[in-house]
Amino acid sequence: MADRDRDPDRNQPQEIQLLHPPPHYRQTGPSTTQIVAVLTLLPVGGSLLALAALTLTGTLIGLSIAIPLFIIFSPVIVPATIAISMAVAGFLSSGAFGLTGLSSLNYGLKRMIRANAGAGVGKGQAKRGMWDMVGYVGQKTKDVGQNMENKAHEGGGAVRT
């Protein structure tokens, strides 16, 4: 009787022990949800693979048609590509130069304010001096742009078809 009290598994009914089978009887295959997931994803994966194959086929057909056209029209395409890349480089460098100029003006303004703060020059006077410099640089830039435009019109007038 003392042995029965010490061993709790002996007191449990047989049905409860069958609900938890030993590890060697457990199912080792895929679960039902895994099977449903695979059956659901197989058509999706297959259709995506088919679309990838169609895209690759269309790309190869397009290249087989486009490569001879590229070769025929390369005397036009290559200079056009060069001109477009130079225009893009010009816009990008123009923006970089503009930002550099603005940051230089900002640095100069701050430096002028700090340098003149001890000399009795107020912030208003320093700002006016800086704005005068900015106006001068702006006017000079307009003049140079107008000069370049005039030269372009003079050169463009000689080449007429």
Per-residue confidence of the chain (161 residues) as pLDDT tens digits? 555 555 555 555 555 555 555 555 566 777 888 888 888 888 888 899 999 999 999 999 999 999 998 888 888 888 889 999 999 999 999 989 988 888 888 888 888 777 766 655 566 777 787 888 888 888 888 888 888 878 777 765 444 44
What is the rounded CA–CA span in Å between residue 121 and residue 118?
7
In a domain, 50, yes or no: yes
What are the φ and ψ backbone dihedral angles of 50, each rounded to 5 degrees? -65, -40
Q: How many domains does the chain have?
A: 2
In a domain, 90, yes or no: yes
What is the rounded CA–CA span in Å between residue 82 and residue 58?
29
In a domain, 46, yes or no: yes
In a domain, 36, yes or no: yes
Token pair of 28, please? 């080792």
* Torsion over CA: 144, 146, 151, 152 (sign): positive
In a domain, 121, yes or no: no
Token pair of 32, please? 């039902």
Give residue 98's domain range: 76-104
In a domain, 20, yes or no: no
In a domain, 138, yes or no: no
68 and 80 in a single domain? The answer is no
In a domain, 156, yes or no: no
